[in-house]
Amino acid sequence: MKRTENIDLDVMRKSPKLFAFKPIVLAVAAGTLVACSDPTEETQVYRSAEDCISGNPDQVEQCELAYKEAVNEAVKSGPKYSSMQACIQDFGPDSCNSYTTQNNQSIFMPFIAGYMFSSILNGGYRSAPLYTSYSRHSPAYGKWSSTDGVLYGSSNSNKVRVNDNAFKPKPTVRRTMSRGGFGSTIAAKSRFGGKTSRSSWGG
């Protein structure tokens, strides 16, 4: 046989899917609500390394390391703004800091408001940074939020219920400086002859 033996036609069908769920897009990064995965673990939230140490006097080193890691993870995967004003709009006054990137660009990011810290066997631990917003416009107002905008409940609480994903590193969020640097040739070429025969830019 010179042809594909079998094709799963159900997979190939593109007719409109019923009950399509459209996620609500939040202002903070790409916010999503934790909907279908069950929170499986209650974990402690600390607002600072000292806060962590006072709760875990035998884990001074771990608390300090976890804090540093949370700050680093936040710098890597947290939301980044091109102006202080835009950052304040999402996180509230006195909540943002400026950073200088390697090529001397200024970017603005919120401070972390705390971090999750959870001991595991053999003196190990897991941690992840948390934000909160003091801006009433933000869906994260008064709530704990992960760096990618997942909300975990009131920031008055020192405990959050999370699943395993909460501790996984998030993809790094970059500061996009520009868009549209690819695609200009087609704009120029399609001016030729109007738009009569253009169907593909492949061949």
Partner 1 sequence: MFRSIIEERPHWRNTASEYGFTFHTMHGAAYWDESAYYQFSLQQIEQDIEAPSEELHQMCLAVVDKVVGDQQWLEKFQIPEQHWDFIRNSWQTKESSLYSRMDLAYGGSGPAKFYENNADTPTSIYETGFWQWLWLQDQVNAGKLSRKADQFNSLQEKLINRFAQIKFQHLHETLYFSCCKDTDEDRGTVQYLEDCATAAGISCQFIYIEDIGLSADGCFTDLDHHKISWMFKLYPWEFMLREDYADALVDSQVSWIEPPWKSVLSNKAILPMLWKLYPNHPNLLASYFEEDLKNSQLTNYVKKPIFAREGANISIHLAGEQVYASDGPYGDEGFIYQDYHPLPAFGDNFTLIGSWLINGKAAGISVREDKNKVTQDLSRFMPHIIL
Q: What is the CA radius of gyration of the chain?
A: 23
End-to-end CA distance of the chain: 28
| Joined tokens for residue 25 | 């897009």
Which residues, including other chains, have CB under 8 Å from residue 63's CB and lie 6 or more apart?
46, 49, 52, 53, 56, 117
Nearer to partner 1, 21 or 192 (CB): 192
Distance in Å, CB of 117 to partner 1, minimum: 26
Nearer to partner 1, 159 or 189 (CB): 189
CB-based burial label for 117 (10 Å; 0-12, 13-18, 19+)? buried
> Please, which residues bridge with residue 46 across strands?
115
Among positions 15, 24, 93, 136, the unique one binding partner 1 when judged by CB under 8 A: 15
User: Using the rule CB under 8 A, is 198 a contact of partner 1?
Assistant: yes
Residue for token pair 């399609």: 190
User: Using the rule CB under 8 A, is 22 a contact of partner 1?
Assistant: no
User: Using the rule CB under 8 A, is 171 a contact of partner 1?
Assistant: yes
| Joined tokens for residue 126 | 């897991």
Among positions 19, 24, 35, 196, the unique one binding partner 1 when judged by CB under 8 A: 196
Beta strands at 143-145 and 125-130: parallel, antiparallel or unpaired: unpaired
Amino acid at 51: D
Distance in Å, CB of 28 to partner 1, minimum: 12
Distance in Å, CB of 179 to partner 1, minimum: 4
Chain positions 66 to 105 lying near partner 1, rule: CB under 8 A, are 80, 101-103, 105
Q: Which stretch binds partner 1 (CB under 8 A): 7-15, 49-57, 60-68, 122-130?
A: 7-15
- Chain residues in the site for partner 1 (CB under 8 A): 1-5, 7-9, 11-15, 29-30, 80, 101-103, 105, 107, 171-186, 188-189, 192-193, 196-203
